[in-house]
Structure 1
């Protein structure tokens, strides 16, 4: 009896997979491609039948690629690049297209944003999508090309690069110090004051668990997952804020205290997923981030 010949994957199916892999969501991919959620799902199912296996698996942050899916995504990137070159009226700048990255709030605002702005002066077809989140690097592709995290990542897949480091310091507003006094020792800070920092129960990064070591037993005043809330709550006099120096030192109404006892340097690392390394645009963004870190090194370290 004759066996049926498998239908090879189509370019459309591969391009749909690429968009789902980049966004991590069927709905987001559908909006980007001008399709319905059902059409995206149907294309993924057809691709899996053609390849004989799963190309996506549901992760904590959306859909992630399987090993088979990563091979298919590499092929899809080649299709997308070929179509872009075909449609161009002139030789295409390889540093083009959308690069997706995730990073912390402060890094996004003060490092990534000026780095991308500088790159776009020479590469106007480059677009960068930045998702802000404070977490560890994902073990599987999480819909982004570059993840910038605090602390050295332990990843089995992908390439990790140290970008540089920044310093945390203890700050308060003049009004707060007038009402409560400045702590002369760590012990006094713990007993007489309260802290502005991350929500302890939601903190996913071990390197940021510093107050529990340097200020053991201090009670919370205001906690948030957003570091800009830390800065503004400290400026408003809510308590003592443990803040990145490159953010706090921008505000003349913040006073740094216990400089010798309360300082901690933390590293920023970039994780680039294997299939993203082939894209010149991704490499250019990583290079831009490293240059921006070097330019701002004094501010990052509170000097």
Structure 2
């Protein structure tokens, strides 16, 4: 019997709703619903009655619970043996350049200290490895993937704003007062023909038709260009907030985006995967004001 589907059944049986089961499994309710429906199809039985208050076990569901509990106990024994000597093995995480370098990397020391036997590959670049092809254990993406044997859920919202060099108060005043397209200020941004994600095409949300005249495929390079006085541009707030060389102009104008967590469903039960997701969730929760100012 497929433990991947069975554990979703067991968590719904224990928690009573898709939302609570998904929270315990670190996935969204839609994923839980699909796994339970797939198990019912595979068995040819209805395991739950869908009631207004939640999911209620049918007779077939009640008969399946002891078998699921036995498999869960066996899995727990395996995991406990792995945990006796601490987490080990390789953990490869693919993230965007800005989030990986400016958010995860500076906070990683605590996780590394807690799990010294774990090999951690943080692939922070302009582009992503594909968890569905097992290129990485998990990825933090700019959009929710729609295909592949993946478990996905939103990790966090985040905001972007318009930034100018702190050394150019004249640019700050001009950018705040009127259209950039009419101002004699260089605009910094991505190269539109090699955007690695459509979510990065956001200059039009600052002003319709706005184009960058100074471009880079790297958000870290764009940050340095703006801080160094080459122009004004859009940056994630978590990337720019602590840089004294940058000033956010038009503080009421924010661009909303989200990070999505995706991992291959085969690796989801592994202790090292669970440990990293728990750690990352805590870091994101503690940094809510940085990711989404105001």
TM-score by length of 1: 0.64
Alignment partner, residue 195 of structure 2? 203
Separation in 2 of the partners of 1:92 and 1:131? 26
Preserved contact between residue 94 and residue 129 of structure 2 (Cα < 8 Å)? no
Alignment partner, residue 274 of structure 2? 283
RMSD: 2.5
Separation in 2 of the partners of 1:129 and 1:161? 22
Structure 1: runs of 5+ lacking an equivalent? 1-81
Structure 2: runs of 5+ lacking an equivalent? 1-77
Alignment partner, residue 162 of structure 2? 170
1:246 aligns with 2:215: no
Which of 233, 245, 266 is residue 225 of structure 2 equivalent to? 233
Preserved contact between residue 157 and residue 259 of structure 2 (Cα < 8 Å)? yes
Partner of 1:175, secondary structure, is coil
Which of 94, 97, 101 is residue 102 of structure 1 equivalent to? 94
1:189 aligns with 2:158: no
Partner of 2:266, secondary structure, is helix
Partner of 1:140, secondary structure, is helix
Q: How many residues align?
A: 214
- The CA deviation string for residues 72-124 of structure 1, in whole angstroms up to 9 with x for no partner, is xxxxxxxxxx9xx8xx9x9432x221100110122112332245322222221
- Cα 1:116–1:249 shift into 2, 3 Å: closer
Preserved contact between residue 135 and residue 149 of structure 1 (Cα < 8 Å)? no
Partner of 1:292, secondary structure, is helix
- The CA deviation string for residues 7-37 of structure 1, in whole angstroms up to 9 with x for no partner, is xxxxxxxxxxxxxxxxxxxxxxxxxxxxxxx
Query: Deviation of residue 136 (structure 1)?
Result: 6.5
Separation in 2 of the partners of 1:121 and 1:148? 22
Alignment partner, residue 294 of structure 1? 285
